[in-house]
């Protein structure tokens, strides 16, 4: 789960990370009111969407008057902000963050991420932060400092000091940077985050170290421990299919292919997607219906898969252990009535014979398969045939 910048800053501030004074606004007039309440002479009006690279996309505007604040907020509200991370469709701006702006001497990058390959937390920092950090990683990799955290002891202050000195900070700045790095790490650890990114972390003219921007992503599986974080979810910023999937306890991720997948178990889902590619096709999604695939959940899974207009065939692959094949078959039959695309079903495991009987006696044009490879091959063939029929009808 991702959250907005202002929410991330509020959480980080609770762990001792210094931030600028700011307030969230939902209308241009409210943005002006926020600026008057914050005081100062300069403000930054920032679009709040779940994406980085907002500055390059025109989502951050510096203002010197209240009129500028109103104009900036007016130009952002309702805008489809397209960044390098949103895709061409962009994301709609429904709120802005008004923040006191002041001069700073340096921009630093600080990131704390879960390195799945190393099975460790990795702290990454660069003396060259800001909007071009992605380019710097490739053009000047020696400017990037990294430390892998030993999970038994966590990030140690001496490691944070090593990073701070590596960034070329002064003695006074180092002590403040260490406090910020340790605070960001504690937030990462205690909130079950998968990423904490502060870009830029700025050094002001009076040697303060301030998080000027912040981004946090959380492990959904740990949200039950942090209800105050779960409440920050903004469903409007998420793929509506993924939000609907979460309501039914389904794990769904949309992809770019044309073969919809309904599978139980993450490992089997990954194997099925690989097999589809091996057979010459492209999966349209990852969808794990989980261990208790009732007919209602299977029907919900079909609705999610078919909401993708690119889907030209659906592959159901169920290996029933906790599940029962007859339950799944009932859900498949319910959802398959009036289906506009070919459907391939492969069932194995508990009550498989009963499940196959339900499928065979349904009277529906369901394509049965015995093995995973056979199912993938039949799905690819059915998809190609369906697309060919559509192309012929359009001539």
How much is the pLDDT for 245? 74
How much is the pLDDT for 192? 95
Annotation marks residue 109 as catalytic: yes
Same domain for 111 and 58, yes or no, is: no
Helical ranges in the chain per DSSP H: 5-13, 28-38, 66-76, 133-139, 157-166, 171-190, 227-230, 240-247, 266-278, 295-306, 325-336, 352-360, 372-394
CATH of the domain at 208: 3.30.470.20
Dist. CA 206–CA 188, nearest whole Å: 28
**Exposure of 390 in the CB half-sphere (CA atoms within 13 A):** 13
In what helix (H) or strand (E) does residue 111 lie, and over which residues does it extend? strand 104-115
Annotated binding site: 46, 99, 102, 107, 199, 213, 264
> Which residue is it, tokens 């963050």?
97
Burial (CB count <10 Å: 0-12, 13-18, 19+), residue 255: middle
How much is the pLDDT for 208? 93
Marked catalytic residue, from 5, 197, 252, 330: 197
Domain boundary among 197, 221, 238: 238
Report whether the peptide linkage leading into residue 200 is cis, meaning its omega lies within 30 degrees of zero.
Answer: yes
Same domain for 39 and 69, yes or no, is: yes
How much is the pLDDT for 165? 93
Range of the domain at 292: 240-394
CATH of the domain at 385: 3.40.50.261
How much is the pLDDT for 368? 87
Distance of alpha carbon 383 from the chain centroid: 29
Same domain for 117 and 197, yes or no, is: yes
Same domain for 85 and 204, yes or no, is: no
How much is the pLDDT for 4? 95
Least Cα distance to 321 among 292, 281, 341 occurs for 292
Q: Which residues pair with 218 in a beta bridge?
A: 193
Annotated binding site for Mg(2+): 199, 213
Marked catalytic residue, from 97, 109, 185, 252: 109
Same domain for 157 and 26, yes or no, is: no
Quick check: pTM over 0.85? Answer: no
In what helix (H) or strand (E) does residue 286 lie, and over which residues does it extend? strand 285-288
Same domain for 10 and 144, yes or no, is: yes
Check: CB of residue 281 under 8 Å from CB of residue 342. Answer: no
Question: Who's near 165: CB < 8 A, 6+ residues apart?
Answer: 174
Annotated binding site for ATP: 46, 99, 102, 107
Same domain for 225 and 368, yes or no, is: no
- DSSP designation for 150: P
Mean pLDDT by 10 residues, the chain (395 residues): 94 96 96 95 94 88 96 94 84 94 91 92 86 61 86 94 92 94 96 94 92 93 92 82 73 88 88 94 88 70 86 90 79 82 89 88 87 94 90 66
Annotation marks residue 33 as catalytic: no
Same domain for 386 and 246, yes or no, is: yes
Domain boundary among 238, 267, 288: 238
How much is the pLDDT for 139? 67
**Exposure of 106 in the CB half-sphere (CA atoms within 13 A):** 17
How much is the pLDDT for 109? 93
CATH of the domain at 31: 3.30.1490.20
Least Cα distance to 209 among 240, 184, 178 occurs for 178
Number of domains making up the chain: 3
Dist. CA 341–CA 20, nearest whole Å: 54
In this structure, the dihedral spanned by the alpha carbons of residues 130, 132, 133 and 135, taken in order and rounded to 10 degrees, is -170
Dist. CA 28–CA 71, nearest whole Å: 8
Annotated binding site for substrate: 264
Same domain for 42 and 91, yes or no, is: yes
Q: What is the 3-state secondary structure (H, E, C) of 193-250?
A: EEEEEEEEEEEECCCCEEECCCEEEECHHHHHHCHHHHCCCCHHHCCHHHHHHHHCCC
Domain boundary among 66, 81, 101: 101
Same domain for 270 and 295, yes or no, is: yes
Same domain for 123 and 202, yes or no, is: yes
Check: CB of residue 93 under 8 Å from CB of residue 173. Answer: no
State the CB neighbour count (10 A cutoff) for residue 145.
18
Same domain for 268 and 134, yes or no, is: no
Burial (CB count <10 Å: 0-12, 13-18, 19+), residue 195: middle
């Amino acid at each position: 789960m991702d959250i907005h910048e202002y929410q991330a800053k509020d959480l980080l501030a609770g762990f001792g990370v210094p931030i600028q004074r700011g307030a969230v606004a939902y209308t241009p007039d409210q943005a002006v009111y926020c600026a008057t309440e914050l005081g100062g002479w300069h403000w930054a009006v920032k679009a709040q969407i779940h994406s980085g690279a907002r500055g390059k996309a025109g989502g951050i505007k510096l203002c010197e008057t209240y009129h500028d604040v109103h104009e900036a907020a007016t130009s952002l509200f309702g805008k489809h902000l397209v960044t390098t991370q949103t895709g061409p469709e962009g994301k709609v701006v429904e709120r802005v963050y008004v923040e006191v702006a002041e001069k700073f001497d340096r921009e630093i990058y600080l990131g704390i991420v879960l390195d799945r390959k190393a099975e460790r937390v990795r702290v990454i920092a660069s003396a060259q932060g800001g909007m071009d950090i992605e380019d710097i990683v490739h053009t000047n990799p020696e400017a990037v400092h990294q430390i892998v955290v030993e999970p038994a002891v966590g990030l140690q202050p001496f490691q944070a000091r090593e990073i701070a000195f590596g960034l070329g900070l002064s003695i006074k700045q180092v002590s403040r940077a260490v406090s910020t790095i340790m605070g960001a790490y504690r937030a990462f650890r205690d909130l079950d985050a998968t990423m904490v990114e502060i870009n830029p972390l700025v050094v002001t003219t009076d040697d303060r170290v301030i998080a000027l921007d912040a981004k946090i992503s959380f492990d959904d599986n740990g949200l039950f421990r942090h209800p105050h974080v779960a409440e920050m979810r903004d469903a409007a910023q998420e793929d509506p299919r993924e939000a609907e999937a979460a309501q039914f306890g389904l794990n769904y991720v949309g992809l770019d292919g044309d073969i919809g997948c309904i599978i139980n178990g993450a490992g089997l889902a990954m194997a099925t997607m690989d097999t589809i590619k091996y057979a010459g096709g492209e999966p349209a999604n990852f969808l794990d219906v989980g261990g208790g695939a009732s007919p209602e959940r299977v029907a919900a899974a079909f609705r999610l898969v078919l909401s993708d207009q690119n889907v030209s065939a659906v592959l159901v692959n169920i290996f029933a252990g906790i599940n029962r094949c007859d339950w799944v078959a009932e859900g498949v039959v319910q959802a398959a009535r009036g289906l506009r695309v070919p459907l391939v079903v492969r069932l194995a495991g508990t009550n498989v014979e009963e499940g196959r009987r339900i499928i065979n006696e349904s009277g529906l044009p369901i394509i049965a398969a015995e093995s995973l490879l056979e199912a993938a091959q039949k799905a690819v063939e059915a998809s190609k045939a369906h697309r060919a029929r559509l192309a012929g009808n359009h001539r």
